[in-house]
């Protein structure tokens, strides 16, 4: 199975403390990226659970993340001297972390103008989009869609409604949303030329 990663991973070993409510368990990172980390530990957090992570850059300095557990790696006891078990955590964006206070939000990122133009031609110009997400909100959920034009340093918010939820056992989890096409067209026009 091939996986497309948005961020480059760096093999770094940092002490981490983590937990669903308080950081009461510990482990070490195997690799880190701007989007997440793999934590080597015998203390597994349930899949899809939110977890608080305190990552120690050095003994005097640490940084905090909130993340979602997206993968477990269970290693038999007899192999633990040669193989590391633990879990992968995807760091939540500020919008995701605040979603409980502000309501549901989804994000679409465009790394280049070409990528934006292709998405516009394929779906945005018709007032809809498919957004991959591991935890799709139910159909008819009203939410905020954040479109990030990373190549231009711009972001737009659009009110959207979930009109389709993909099969949770299918290869791509996500939702189809609809929104006010006219409002988005006006915002995106300078970036589509």
What is the pLDDT at residue 5?
58
What is the pLDDT at residue 6?
66
- Interatomic CA distance for residues 26 and 21, integer angstroms: 14
Could you list the beta-strand ranges (E) of the chain. 15-19, 25-33, 36-40, 50-58, 61-73, 86-91, 105-110, 128-132, 142-149, 154-165, 174-179
What is the pLDDT at residue 2?
43
pLDDT in tens, the chain (193 residues): 444 556 788 999 999 999 999 999 999 999 999 999 999 999 999 998 999 999 999 999 999 999 999 999 988 888 877 888 999 999 988 867 776 666 788 899 999 999 999 999 999 999 999 998 878 889 999 998 999 999 999 999 999 999 999 988 888 889 999 999 998 999 999 998 8
Picking from 93, 44, 86, 45, the residue whose alpha carbon sits closest to that of residue 66 is 93
Beta-carbon neighbour count of residue 64 at 10 Å? 10
What is the pLDDT at residue 96?
73
H helices within the chain, ranges in order?
94-97, 99-102, 113-122, 181-192
With a CB cutoff of 8 Å and minimum separation 6, the contacts of 28 are: 13, 14, 15, 16, 39, 40, 41
What is the pLDDT at residue 1?
40
Three-class secondary structure of residue 54 per DSSP: strand
Three-class secondary structure of residue 114 per DSSP: helix
What is the pLDDT at residue 20?
93
CB 19 within 8 A of CB 39: no
């Amino acid at each position: 199975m091939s996986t497309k990663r948005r961020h480059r991973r760096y093999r770094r070993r940092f002490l981490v403390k983590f937990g669903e409510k308080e950081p009461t368990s510990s482990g070490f990172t195997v690799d880190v990226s701007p989007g997440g980390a793999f934590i080597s530990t015998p203390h597994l957090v349930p899949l899809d659970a939110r977890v608080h992570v305190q990552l120690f850059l050095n003994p005097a300095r640490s940084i905090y993340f909130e993340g979602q557990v997206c993968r477990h790696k269970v290693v038999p006891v007899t192999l633990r001297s040669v193989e590391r078990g633990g879990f992968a955590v995807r760091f939540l964006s500020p919008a995701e972390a605040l979603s409980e206070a502000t309501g549901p939000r989804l994000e679409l990122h465009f790394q280049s103008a070409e990528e934006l133009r292709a998405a516009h031609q394929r779906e945005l110009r018709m007032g809809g989009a498919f957004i991959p997400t591991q935890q799709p909100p139910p159909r008819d959920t009203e939410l905020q869609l954040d479109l990030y034009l990373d190549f231009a340093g711009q972001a737009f918010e659009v009110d959207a409604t979930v009109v389709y939820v993909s099969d949770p056992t299918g290869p791509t989890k996500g939702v189809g949303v609809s929104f006010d096409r006219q409002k988005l067209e006006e915002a995106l026009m300078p970036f589509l030329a």
